[in-house]
Amino acid sequence: MSKPLQLIVAGIGTEIGKTVASAVLVEALQADYWKPIQSGALDDSDTNTVRQLVSNSVSVFHPEAYRLTQPLSPHAAAALDGVTIDMSKIIVPDTDNSLIIELAGGLMVPLNNHDLNIDLVQRLGLPVVLVSRNYLGSINHTLLSVEACRSRAIPLLGILFNGPNVPASEGFILKYTGLPCIGRIGQEDVVTKDVIKKYASLLPGLHQFIKLL
């Protein structure tokens, strides 16, 4: 039996498609899912979204460490709620299954007055799948995210592209970074369980990439 994988899903910014990408990875691996920090939309959280999109009966959806009421950067949302995010209280769930961990926002998003998302990633010590989406400036944002991880010796499993297919941009990113493409998720008007299953079936074997770390 393959060793369970624990992966962090990070995006190059906000509204990149991390939650859909996380759902695809959860379905592909029949993994558990955990979003440590949820900012806003508590009745329609990313955990609930992934739960509704996943078809397998194996995945467990672990509760957030912090549930913040406002749809803001975690540090700002926490301040409005009278809470200070303490990284020492963000503990990876105990599970024998593979686990997909979705960050709240990009790598440099602040969690409190001292810590950023990337500090949490470094503390957890797990490999990252970077989600990239094409827009003007996305090459820059993708390369900056890769450099930020590499400057802290954070292992990068590869890049998962989401949205409209732009081969020239994607090809440049892969060639420049030397990272593998984990897969790509096309532009979809409506995301359903069938859509998630389709892309999960198209992903190459993730276990082969873990050997590259």
Task: List binding-site positions.
Answer: 15-20, 39, 46, 102-105
The active-site residue, picked from 35, 89, 193, 198, is 35
Binding site membership for ATP: which residues?
Answer: 15-20, 46, 102-105
H helical segments located in 82-204: 117-124, 138-151, 167-177, 193-202
Cα distance between residue 20 and residue 9, in whole Å: 11
Residue found under tokens 């996305």: 138
| Cβ atoms < 10 Å from Cβ of 143 | 16
Long-range contacts of 116-124 (CB under 8 A, 24+ apart): 117/10, 118/148, 118/149, 118/152, 118/154, 119/87, 120/36, 120/87, 120/90, 121/8, 121/10, 121/149, 121/154, 122/152, 122/154, 123/87, 124/8, 124/90, 124/92
Binding site membership for substrate: which residues?
Answer: 39
Known catalytic membership, residue 211: no
Residue 4: name the closest of 103, 93, 74, 75 by CA: 93
Binding site membership for Mg(2+): which residues?
Answer: 19, 46, 102
Q: State the catalytic residues.
A: 35
